[in-house]
Structure 1
């Protein structure tokens, strides 16, 4: 695990600034987004990016980002819902994506683990999201599970946007290197803290520091020692602490590093809004 780094103020509150680059604020059951954001701010989380998974949740993400200055939105159709990505839905998505509080397109990509949508539908939706991100100069946020080769093939064929993020990175060292060689950002969630994830920590250790990002994927994937509980952005310091251990940094240093990376990855303002 991360005994040294995680003991150093593991849940924030020291004045260190963190950014949660991927959460679903509207999905934290029984909580108002404003309450979740308030707890995150108390833990030192300066900025949050809330992400849609379908047209309705994407609209909610934009609404939240419009109402809460420290929140930004990413809009898109999750691979699980790719079958819903009709021309009409994609047209509405393009309208949403033009909002000034939208910084990215996604989460999109391929999920061959659950296959909730046919793979050809997933690939078509992924290609449409790549085109949209490129056309609007937005960051592409990728969900990739058990589909590494196909994701890379599509990105190579379509041309990845200038700013591309692999959310909740789950690959090995080899895949991490292939992504890093392209200059893509790799975002790590609570899974990097799990006791049964030494391979993922090894992959995290191999990533160039300037390409590292932190996320919670809240309300999912709560980090150790909260695994199995409802997650929220206030727990991002635990993810940063785990990454810090792998890179020989303090959690505070990792927070500063990944916050600067996140501002580049999503073209965010230099200071909190």
Structure 2
């Protein structure tokens, strides 16, 4: 794919028959330039049946930005957290407690319904950062429990430790594995615990057979869908700029894997989103 095509917005897919929620996106992040204005992203998504979005701010600046836009866009709910890759930086600067306190303050906004994305990421953080990630993860779990908000988990190359810490802590009622990346065994364990599994564009990739197998064993009542925009653009536009309006590609791929009708999956995804986050 050429560099020029990477910077182009893919065409809009065929609209979904029943509206769904993009339950994790980063509207404040652009790739190779400024992000698309929020109102444009919301309108483009609504035209294809993605009429509600969860905007996630995962550092102090983006968490403030998220809270600042929620009242202006009824289609949005918000999530706030310190991303696991940011936790060691705050710990090294002696300000992790201060950052976590600000996240809890921002979470008081009535349209913030998520503490996340939090969790563990061993892909970019070396062994020296693991302790800070664990500390931050446990603190976010406690914030979600105190505030009564849903918890969204980021898990990259850290499946065992994520599940272990969640088992050790008193978790909130609603836990979401954002951009689920585990195998069938992990999916079954998460379902057993009552967690929700959110699938992103990665499930559409040709080499994602293990991920589709995990999806196949996940009951409808535990499923969510997301973009993680501007990242993880679904096929057939992998490598180009992702945005909430591309959710229909992922929904249709999920329906095919699950062998269910697209409207049936859409109904489940919408109902599950409101069960996790409440009404918009």
Q: Residue 74 of structure 1 corresponds to which residue in structure 2?
A: 79
Q: Residue 258 of structure 1 corresponds to which residue in structure 2?
A: 269
| 1:132 maps to 2:133 | no
**Cα deviation, residue 12, structure 1:** 4.0
Which string of whole-angstrom CA distances, capped at 9 and with x for unpartnered residues, describes residues 51-80 of structure 1? Answer: 011011011111222210010000001111
Match of 1:199 among 195, 210, 223: 210
Distance in 1, matches of 2:243 and 2:104, equals 28
Q: Residue 93 of structure 1 corresponds to which residue in structure 2?
A: 103
Distance in 2, matches of 1:72 and 1:153, equals 29
Q: Residue 159 of structure 2 corresponds to which residue in structure 1?
A: 148
Distance in 1, matches of 2:16 and 2:141, equals 39
Once the two structures are superposed, the pairs formed by residues 1-273 of structure 1 within 5 Å of their partners are 11-28=13-30, 29-83=34-88, 84=90, 86-115=96-125, 118-266=129-277, 268-269=278-279, 273=280
CA RMSD of aligned residues (A): 1.4
Total equivalences in the alignment:
260
| Alpha-carbon contact 1:18-1:258 (below 8 Å) kept | yes
**Cα deviation, residue 135, structure 1:** 0.3
Unaligned runs of 5+ in 2: 1-11
* Higher alpha-carbon deviation: 30-39 or 133-142: 30-39
Which string of whole-angstrom CA distances, capped at 9 and with x for unpartnered residues, describes residues 30-54 of structure 1? Answer: 4111111110011111200000110
Distance in 1, matches of 2:239 and 2:138, equals 34
- Runs of 4+ aligned residues of structure 1 deviating over 4 Å after TM superposition are none
What is the SS of the residue equivalent to 2:85? helix
| Alpha-carbon contact 1:237-1:251 (below 8 Å) kept | no
Going from structure 1 to structure 2, the CA distance change for 1:30 and 1:164 (only over 3 Å counts) comes to closer
TM-score, normalised by the number of residues in structure 2 = 0.90
Distance in 2, matches of 1:111 and 1:69, equals 32
Distance in 1, matches of 2:213 and 2:222, equals 15
| Alpha-carbon contact 1:237-1:255 (below 8 Å) kept | no
Distance in 1, matches of 2:254 and 2:29, equals 26
